[in-house]
A and B are shown apart, each in its own frame.
Chain A
Amino acid sequence: MKRLKKNKVKIRFPSSTDNLEMIRDFVRKLSLKAGFEEEAADHIALAVDEACTNVIKHAHKYNARRMIDLNVQYTAEKFEVTITDKGKGFDPARMPKPDLDKYMHEARKGGLGIHLMRTLMDEVNYTFNPGVKNQVVLVKYLKPGIA
């Protein structure tokens, strides 16, 4: 089997919404470099924004002294972003698809991002070990159907 060249990039940033714009730019540019079209690159950047926003809000409770690690690795076929934190974990995998009508009645604002991540990416996987290491791995394939 031909060995695929793997590109890896890592950044660590303070857990603050102030950094979301920078993170989106970073991920978007890497997605384009990996070979995605503009639209797919936008979708990856949005999914990563949603994942980081969840960490900032729920795991770190807006404590900007906490850090988030972002690892991106990609081959000619697969683009994978791993977001790691050491905060209080929550399990978005258990959250059902949001019922917008119910949201409207309850004036709820959260939970929409998880649905977006699932829709925009090919795979969204979570591992939780609260206070030690929580990870969300977002995957998008460059050639649909290759898993």
Chain B
Amino acid sequence: MSGFEVRRHDNGDVSILHLKGFLDAHTAPQFEHALQELVSENRVKIVVSMSDLDYISSAGLGVFMGFIEEIREKDGDIKLSSMSEKVFKVFDLLGFPSLYEIFDDESAALAKFNETN
């Protein structure tokens, strides 16, 4: 049983990862793999869309921390979008809003990438 899914959608030079379900220590490697794949393809403009993400634990948050510096060094970024209040609360408790840009919806995150292009 795995209550988690990552779907990738490329939009120009921005890649969108849609997360669905439960992101915990069991499922975090799937997310890690998806990010690793993007980095190895040098696709470093990434939007992580969380409208269907029901749950996140620190194992999931740790994945963001594991990649962000490398991605920013390559002039990319991970922008976060569409998270539920419940998921936002966890990000907020750990101080993530000061490190990551969080947008209400995917298109706003995409627009931010496009304006800096």
Interface residue ranges, A against B (CB under 8 Å): 17-18, 20-21, 24, 39, 42, 46, 49-50, 53, 56-57, 98, 100-101, 103-105, 107-110, 112-113, 115-116, 119-120
Distance A116 CA – B60 CA, assembled complex (angstroms):
13
A contacts with B: majority SS: helix
Which residues of chain A are near B55, meaning CB under 8 Å? Answer: 24, 46
- Whether, in the assembled complex, B65 has its beta carbon less than 8 Å from a beta carbon of chain A, the answer is yes
- Whether, in the assembled complex, B26 has its beta carbon less than 8 Å from a beta carbon of chain A, the answer is yes
**Is B62 a contact of A112 with CB atoms below 8 Å?**
yes
**Is B65 a contact of A108 with CB atoms below 8 Å?**
yes
**Is A21 a contact of B65 with CB atoms below 8 Å?**
no
**Is A107 a contact of B70 with CB atoms below 8 Å?**
yes
Interface residue ranges, B against A (CB under 8 Å): 1, 3, 22, 24-26, 55, 57-59, 61-63, 65-70, 86, 90, 93-96, 98-99
Which residues of chain A are near B94, meaning CB under 8 Å? Answer: 98, 100, 112, 115-116
Which residues of chain A are near B62, meaning CB under 8 Å? Answer: 108-110, 112
Which residues of chain A are near B93, meaning CB under 8 Å? Answer: 115-116, 119-120
Which residues of chain B are near A103, meaning CB under 8 Å? Answer: 65
Distance A9 CA – B8 CA, assembled complex (angstroms):
42
9 cross-chain pairs, A with B, having the tightest CB-CB distances, nearest first: A109-B62, A17-B26, A112-B58, A113-B58, A53-B25, A17-B25, A109-B66, A107-B66, A49-B57
- Given contacts A20-B26, A57-B25, A116-B58, A109 and B1 within 8 Å (CB-CB): no
A54 nearest CB across to chain B (Å) = 9
Which residues of chain A are near B26, meaning CB under 8 Å? Answer: 17-18, 20-21
- Given contacts A17-B26, A21-B22, A104 and B99 within 8 Å (CB-CB): yes
- Given contacts A21-B1, A119-B93, A107 and B25 within 8 Å (CB-CB): no
Distance A105 CA – B72 CA, assembled complex (angstroms):
11
- B67 closest partner in A (C-beta): A107
Distance A108 CA – B68 CA, assembled complex (angstroms):
10
Which residues of chain B are near A17, meaning CB under 8 Å? Answer: 24-26
**Is B95 a contact of A100 with CB atoms below 8 Å?**
yes
Quick one: which of B1, B70, B86, B95 contacts A42, CB cutoff 8 A?
B86
Distance A103 CA – B3 CA, assembled complex (angstroms):
28
Distance A100 CA – B62 CA, assembled complex (angstroms):
10
**Is A109 a contact of B90 with CB atoms below 8 Å?**
no
